[in-house]
Amino acid sequence: MKKILKLTIIASLIVGLFASCEKDFLDVNDDPNNATEATAGQIFPAATASMAGVIGGNYALAGGIWSQYWTQANSANQYKNYSSFNLSPDDLDRFAWEELYSGALNDFKDVKEKSSANSNWSYYLMATVLESYTYQVLVDLYDKIPYSEALQGADNLNPAFDDGDFVYDDLISNVDNALGKNLTASSVTNPGDKDFIFNGDLDQWVRFANTLKLKFYLRQRYANPTIAENGITDMYNQGAEFLAIDAKMDVFVDQDSKSNPFYEMDRRQLNTPNNLRASETMVDSFLAPNSDPRLQELYNESVNGTYTAMPQGSHNAPTSDIDPDDISVVHLEPTDPVKFISAAESHFLQAEVALIYGLGGSAQTHYENGVMAAFAQYGLDGSSFIASGGAYEYPASGTEAEQLEAIITQKWAAMARFQGMEAWTEWRRTGYPDFFTVPVDNALGTDFLLRLLFPDSERKANTNTPAQVPVTVPVWWDQD
């Protein structure tokens, strides 16, 4: 039943957005009743919505639990498997895997083929960036994925699984290829509002591509240090510019099947706000001595008028021990955007580069810009927190390890509510924050979840699916 509901939500999201008001979302002038073949401009919005439905839906939910922003309430059962690391191969994995491959990735491939045929490089760049982003998310979760032989349909029903480092190398090459296209050619069209992310601003798409590449390199800097350093140095030598605004899908409205996919799935379709509660890990880091005002943007006050939390994974505690009314409910809005790379994340990526490689200016400046952007996304001012003596003052006199810890920990804080899966992936890469707690009810004993299992649907359909690897085994780049 859960899988049917989730698939219905994605389908409704795509149809709902397009049907909600043609001039608001698509402004497609072609008569759909007489269309013979969809164009790149018609396919791209659906592909974006398909991708956003997974990234901003199931992955946002699970990533937020694994990043210890929230945990399953002890008065409900909906997400106990996520909260206790008790995942089956046919749980979260099957839905997201199938939707991303058969929906988003298949459509992005189609957009690239159609746009390449007529040298419409705007759509080619946009599809390449989102395709590469999607593949990275998958390979970061599963370590090996169908890639070089994927999406061939009946021509290859058993595509090989490629190693993660191979996928990364090829994704970087693909992004470079797209960046090398002539975006000023007469054949290039402005996608306008068919682009849910930047409304046709190709300069921002170039920045998105560069920032994504920077993330590709940093993610593998422990596993492939030479590739990472050379690639990053080359980007800076060529004057690459990075995002200073969010790369996000921000077209949602407070209506059935047209709202943020996480909100739609957890609140509207389940008709209750009570499944997810504040985690002590997050709340304790934001309360004393910090008194961080972002708490009000992450959780609703409990009935006693304070922000209170549950120990991570304590969903089996009797309600007599943990009164659900005393625990803050996770705050979500139907109009929340789906963020792919935020301005704060971009600044923190640049801070890490400045710290480790001495490139691109001051690590402290980028760090402080990241903290300010993290507050600004809620309309808040974080200047007092980064000032001398402030709770998040950059440890300028500290060791490199202490400075990196500050950068990644504040990146984690910045990603709450919007980028839970990315925050969990960064924790796996760096070990920061270093105050995550083992869930009280943990199917893995004292271990943490470090990867996902290959879906049973893929194992049954594809004879080349590798043997399952224990979820406690790190993925290829997790070598810190």
Percent of the chain residues past pLDDT 90, beyond the cut: 81
Is there a contact between 245 and 343 (Cβ–Cβ < 8 Å)? yes
Using the predicted structure, report yes or no on whether residue 1 has a pLDDT greater than 50: no
pLDDT of 403 reads 98
Instruction: Supply angle C-alpha 276, 457, 133, rounded to 5.
Output: 65
Using the predicted structure, report yes or no on whether residue 226 has a pLDDT greater than 90: yes
For residue 82, what are its two tokens? 């996520």
How many Å apart are CA 185 and CA 242, to the nearest integer?
A: 23
Mean pLDDT, the chain, as a whole number? Answer: 91
Using the predicted structure, report yes or no on whether residue 33 has a pLDDT greater than 90: no
Using the predicted structure, report yes or no on whether residue 92 has a pLDDT greater than 80: no
For residue 26, what are its two tokens? 């698509």
Mean pLDDT across the stretch 260-265? 94
Instruction: Name the residue with tokens 């639990």.
Output: 65
Strands 70-72 and 276-278: antiparallel
pTM: 0.93
**Domain spans of the chain, in order of start:** 2-27+38-254+336-461
Using the predicted structure, report yes or no on whether residue 285 has a pLDDT greater than 80: yes
pLDDT of 13 reads 54
- CA-to-CA dists, residue 166 to 71, 227, 463, angstroms: 35, 12, 21
Using the predicted structure, report yes or no on whether residue 94 has a pLDDT greater than 80: no
Is there a contact between 25 and 257 (Cβ–Cβ < 8 Å)? no
Q: What is the pLDDT of residues 102-138, one digit of tens each?
A: 999 999 999 999 999 999 999 999 999 999 999 999 9
Mean pLDDT across the stretch 275-290? 89
Mean pLDDT across the stretch 404-417? 98
Q: What is the pLDDT of residues 150-207, one digit of tens each?
A: 999 899 999 999 999 999 999 999 999 999 999 999 999 999 999 999 999 999 999 9
Is there a contact between 381 and 312 (Cβ–Cβ < 8 Å)? no
pLDDT of 30 reads 37
How many Å apart are CA 107 and CA 52, to the nearest integer?
A: 13
DSSP 3-state of 28: coil
Mean pLDDT across the stretch 435-441? 97
203 contacts: CB under 8 Å, gap ≥ 6 = none
Q: Which letter, b or e, does each residue of 197-220 get, where b requires 16 or more Cβ atoms within 10 Å of its Cβ?
A: bbebbbebbbbbbbbbbbbbbbbb
Is there a contact between 326 and 303 (Cβ–Cβ < 8 Å)? yes
Percent of the chain residues past pLDDT 70, beyond the cut: 91
Q: Which CATH number fits domain 2-27+38-254+336-461: 3.40.109.10, 2.40.30.10, 1.20.210.10, 1.25.40.390?
A: 1.25.40.390
Mean pLDDT across the stretch 45-55? 96
Mean pLDDT across the stretch 202-224? 98
pLDDT of 479 reads 87
pLDDT of 29 reads 33
Mean pLDDT across the stretch 239-266? 96
Range of weakest confidence among 89-103, 258-272, 288-302:
89-103
Q: What is the pLDDT of residues 191-202, one digit of tens each?
A: 999 999 999 999
Rounded to 10°, the helix 40-53/106-117 angle is: 160
Residues in the chain, how many? 480
